[in-house]
Amino acid sequence: MCRICTDPIEALVGLTKLDCSFCPHLTAIPAELVHLRELSCFHCSRLASIPGALTELVRLDCSYCPLLASIPDTLVRLATLDCAECPLLASLPGALPLLVWMDCSDCPLLVSIPCTLVALAVLYCCSCPRLASIPDTLACLTFLDCSGCRRLSAIPCQLTTLKELHCTHCPLLASIPSTFTRLTLLNCSGCRILASIPPPIHGTLRYTLHYNCPWLPENASDYPNHMPSLLRLQRWFRTGKKQVFTRWIRTRAFNEWIFHPDRIGGKLVKRHMEAELGAMRPAKQQRAQ
């Protein structure tokens, strides 16, 4: 039980900070608590709403509340909002001009992030299966984790302030904009159709993780840990997955990479593999006869 359940309301009205997390009885936050600046009410299994009168709130953690369906639009001073794992939350308030940190991950009904969150610097929105886009107006965003968003097909090229981007396992994501020149960390592993990532301009991109991105050949030799892709290509070829190999070498991105003047090694690899492919054909025909 939390203080809201046990204390008289007169004892609480002056509070600026309140933690009523993990209370199985709490169904509502009293609207009289207008002085609250920090409220933690995560893991409250019966909490269905946050009163709109709490306009002084700067920090709100209402994550893991299974009955919470909305967050009021009046919390204009909010700087930090954690509403992850709220299965009924279908939308986020738009009028949060001071919000700098937000986690709305694992909200299965959430369809969009308001384009008005202009101060937002850190945005976690992982595993939101209905989220199809990220607003291009988040001009202060330095960190984004949108991993596991199955409907996300693009990250806006306007988000040029990004320094760290995690977008693993986004099956519709085909490219990472080359305008992200301030990126220092990119984690895009498991993006099955991702075909291009930004070049490591001026060495800002210190670290990339891109395993299981079979269509990502561009600039591959610039990223040391990209080599598994080339190894995988050779493995496809050697294990007889000829169709995959031939489809892959026909892509423009692969040929731009392989015929780049600096990629002599890559050109040799391709010639070698083509020679091997040629040598395999008669052997297969003989077997067919």
Q: Which residues bind Zn ion (CB under 5 A)?
A: 1-2, 5, 23, 25-26
Q: How are strands ordered across the β-sheet holding 143-145?
A: 17-19, 38-40, 59-61, 80-82, 101-103, 122-124, 143-145, 164-166, 185-187, 207-209
Shortest distance, position 159 Cβ to Zn ion, whole Å: 40
Q: Which is nearer to Zn ion, 30 or 200 (CB)?
A: 30
Q: Which is nearer to Zn ion, 49 or 74 (CB)?
A: 49
Shortest distance, position 103 Cβ to Zn ion, whole Å: 23
Shortest distance, position 89 Cβ to Zn ion, whole Å: 21
Shortest distance, position 84 Cβ to Zn ion, whole Å: 21
Q: Which is nearer to Zn ion, 1 or 227 (CB)?
A: 1
Q: Is the dihedral of CA 209, 249, 179, 99 positive or negative?
A: negative
Q: Which is nearer to Zn ion, 60 or 134 (CB)?
A: 60
Distance between CA atoms of residues 88 and 104, nearest Å: 12
User: Residue 224 in contact with residue 205, Cβ under 8 Å?
Assistant: no
User: Residue 81 in contact with residue 99, Cβ under 8 Å?
Assistant: yes
Shortest distance, position 27 Cβ to Zn ion, whole Å: 9
Q: Which is nearer to Zn ion, 32 or 222 (CB)?
A: 32
User: Residue 155 in contact with residue 135, Cβ under 8 Å?
Assistant: no
Shortest distance, position 44 Cβ to Zn ion, whole Å: 8
Give the CA distances from residue 257 to residues 61, 130, 218, 233, in Å, rounded to whole numbers and listed in that order: 47, 35, 6, 14
Distance between CA atoms of residues 46 and 286, nearest Å: 71
Distance between CA atoms of residues 40 and 38, nearest Å: 7
Q: Which is nearer to Zn ion, 26 or 131 (CB)?
A: 26
